[in-house]
């Protein structure tokens, strides 16, 4: 058990040592962490083969000069979230170039794979990245709120299997990229964003889902609204974008990005809407899906179960309906007033 306070850390059991409010974990095991402290840091420096699990148990930890959690190992690190936990970093970041010099760059950082689960809440506010992994980042459950970050989630493969996740950033929201400092430039690119479940609400000023490889969505509910310039997009992949399930609402400003033709689930392109617009999608008089859009958008797309490419659907915006053919993108569809948008 590790308990942090305003001046030190009390440790019960083996595998961890402390120097003031800096705790270093050097052996495999499960470590329960609790308490409140500023200028606190937890360093995981265990062997690469060691399985380390940290239980965040109602912690409130902050650091002004670096990461709160520095998983400085190439193995696998797990975090179980219990109760309500607050993590904050306030490193001074002058610009994007200076951010690149900060190492590790994240309120929570792992040099290898990182898995997050539990039934608690994890709140993160960071002037750096929110959660950053040089390996694979997997979120299975729990509530994750990143209220401030440069990039919210980063990893080689970012997988979301469940949980309630709310993400905000000044740049990309979820970024799947390969750390070229650890791999040869000629390595096979495996980067991907995989969303299999959960409820995900994201808002940022850069690319929302940004993968140097593929984006695969098979489940969950994703509300992806972007406020950015045309060079950024809600869905941005160097590889393929594939929908096979789930509900995906994406729109805003910037470029939109649409699923590839091999997707088994299609979408309707609705066009621009005002904040608070009510959308109802029907087929042959039967309602398929309805929602209220919180923000104004210059384009809006919706994909959900039952939408088939090439089929015609009745889409109502604030009570005014028109026919839209699924899978025809490019911002076509209905304007906020309910008329047809630009074709």
Count how many Cα atoms sit within 13 Å of the Cα of residue 105 in the half-sphere of its side chain.
19
Max CA-CA distance within the chain?
68
Dig out the tokens for 48 from the structure.
């690469």
CA distances (Å), 106 to each of 88, 151, 153, 172, 258, in order?
10, 9, 9, 14, 30
User: Distance between CA 24 and CA 125 in Å, rounded?
Assistant: 23
User: Distance between CA 226 and CA 52 in Å, rounded?
Assistant: 36
* pLDDT of 329: 57
* pLDDT of 97: 56
User: Distance between CA 70 and CA 83 in Å, rounded?
Assistant: 22
pLDDT, tens digit (0-9, with 9 covering 90-100), for 292-316: 999 888 899 999 999 999 999 999 9
Contacts of 141 (CB under 8 A, 6+ apart): 117, 118, 119, 161, 162, 163
**Predicted confidence band of residue 187 (pLDDT cuts 50, 70, 90):** very low
- Residues 117 and 78 sit within 8 Å (Cβ to Cβ): yes
Rg of the chain over Cα atoms, rounded to whole angstroms, equals: 21
Among 160-174, 190-204, 224-238, 261-275, the least confident range: 224-238
Question: What is the value of pTM for the model shown?
Answer: 0.90
Percent of the chain with pLDDT strictly greater than 70: 87
* pLDDT of 16: 96
pLDDT, tens digit (0-9, with 9 covering 90-100), for 143-157: 999 999 999 999 999
pLDDT, tens digit (0-9, with 9 covering 90-100), for 61-88: 999 988 999 998 777 899 999 999 999 9
- Residues 170 and 149 sit within 8 Å (Cβ to Cβ): yes
* pLDDT of 231: 73
In this structure, the strands spanning 137-139 and 113-118 are parallel
- Residues 31 and 9 sit within 8 Å (Cβ to Cβ): no
Q: Does pLDDT of 330 surpass 80? A: no
Concatenating the DSSP letter of every residue in 150-211 gives SSSEEESEEEE-SSEEEEEESS-SEEE---TTTS-TTSPP--EEEE-SSEEEEEESS-SEEE
- Residues 168 and 146 sit within 8 Å (Cβ to Cβ): yes
């Amino acid at each position: 058990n590790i308990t942090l306070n305003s001046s030190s850390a009390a440790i019960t059991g083996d595998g961890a040592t402390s120097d003031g409010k800096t705790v270093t974990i050097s052996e495999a095991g499960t470590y329960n962490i609790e308490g409140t402290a500023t200028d606190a840091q937890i360093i995981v420096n265990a062997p690469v083969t060691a399985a380390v699990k940290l239980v965040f148990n109602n912690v409130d930890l902050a650091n002004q000069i670096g990461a709160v959690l520095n998983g400085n190992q190439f193995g696998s690190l797990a975090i179980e979230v219990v109760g309500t936990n607050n993590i904050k970093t306030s490193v001074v970041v002058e610009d994007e170039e200076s951010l690149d010099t900060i190492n590790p760059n994240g309120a929570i950082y792992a040099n290898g794979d990182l898995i997050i689960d539990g039934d608690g809440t994890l709140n993160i506010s960071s002037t750096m990245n929110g959660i950053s992994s040089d390996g694979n980042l997997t979120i299975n459950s729990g509530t994750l709120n990143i209220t401030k970050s440069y990039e919210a989630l980063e990893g080689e493969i970012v997988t979301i299997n469940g949980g309630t996740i709310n993400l905000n950033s000044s740049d990309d929201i979820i970024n799947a990229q390969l750390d070229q400092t650890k791999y040869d430039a000629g390595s096979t690119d495996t980067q991907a964003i995989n969303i299999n479940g959960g409820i995900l609400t994201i808002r940022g000023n850069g690319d929302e889902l940004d993968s140097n490889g593929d984006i695969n969505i098979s489940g969950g509910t994703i509300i992806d609204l972007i406020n950015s310039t045309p060079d950024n997009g809600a869905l941005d992949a160097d590889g393929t974008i594939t929908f096979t399930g789930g509900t995906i609402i994406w729109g805003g400003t910037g470029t939109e990005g649409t699923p590839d033709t091999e997707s088994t689930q299609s979408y309707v392109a609705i066009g621009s809407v005002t904040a608070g617009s009510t959308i109802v999608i029907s087929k042959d008089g039967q309602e398929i899906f309805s929602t209220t859009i919180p923000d104004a958008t210059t384009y809006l797309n919706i994909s959900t179960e039952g939408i088939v490419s090439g089929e015609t659907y009745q889409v109502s915006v604030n009570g005014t309906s028109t026919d839209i053919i699924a899978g025809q993108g490019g911002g076509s569809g209905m304007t906020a007033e309910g008329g047809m948008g630009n074709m």
